């Protein structure tokens, strides 16, 4: 599984979940959003084999951790990156930092 963290870019206006859904749909993805609990939602495209864990503060999306389950997630990743860019968000590989882990072992 590949993961990608989406966060608002510098000076980006507050973004709602419907804005994210529409931006992904504009890339050609069939997308559904569901609420899990206050402050947490999921955004998912089963056809693209991706889902995102959405952290909310009220109606505002603070971050999305996207998970890609396809054997080759390059196409779905590109669509998420394009959707993020269209609304002023940045995406980053969500990788564990081994240096941080070893520093805590000292």
CA-closest candidate to residue 6, choices 67, 71, 72, 97: 67
Please report the pLDDT score of residue 95 as a whole number: 66
Please report the pLDDT score of residue 98 as a whole number: 44
Please report the pLDDT score of residue 1 as a whole number: 85
Please report the pLDDT score of residue 106 as a whole number: 46
Contacts of 80 (CB under 8 A, 6+ apart): 4, 6, 24, 27, 50, 52, 66, 91
Decide if domain 2-96 falls under CATH 3.30.310.80.
yes
Domain ranges of the chain: 2-96
Please report the pLDDT score of residue 53 as a whole number: 98
Taking the chain (106 residues) in consecutive chunks of 10 residues, what is each chunk's mean pLDDT? 94 95 96 94 95 96 96 93 97 65 45
What does the alpha-carbon distance between residue 17 and residue 6 come to, in Å, rounded to a whole number?
Answer: 13
């Amino acid at each position: 599984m590949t993961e990608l963290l989406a966060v608002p870019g510098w000076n980006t206006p507050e973004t709602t979940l419907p804005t994210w859904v529409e931006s992904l749909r504009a890339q050609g993805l069939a997308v559904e959003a569901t609420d899990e609990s206050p402050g947490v939602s999921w955004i998912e495209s089963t056809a693209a084999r991706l889902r995102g864990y959405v952290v909310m503060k009220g109606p505002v999306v603070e971050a999305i951790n996207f998970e890609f389950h396809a054997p080759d997630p390059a196409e779905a990743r590109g669509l998420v990156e394009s959707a993020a860019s269209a609304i002023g968000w940045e995406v980053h590989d969500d990788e564990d930092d081994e240096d941080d882990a070893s520093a805590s072992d000292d």
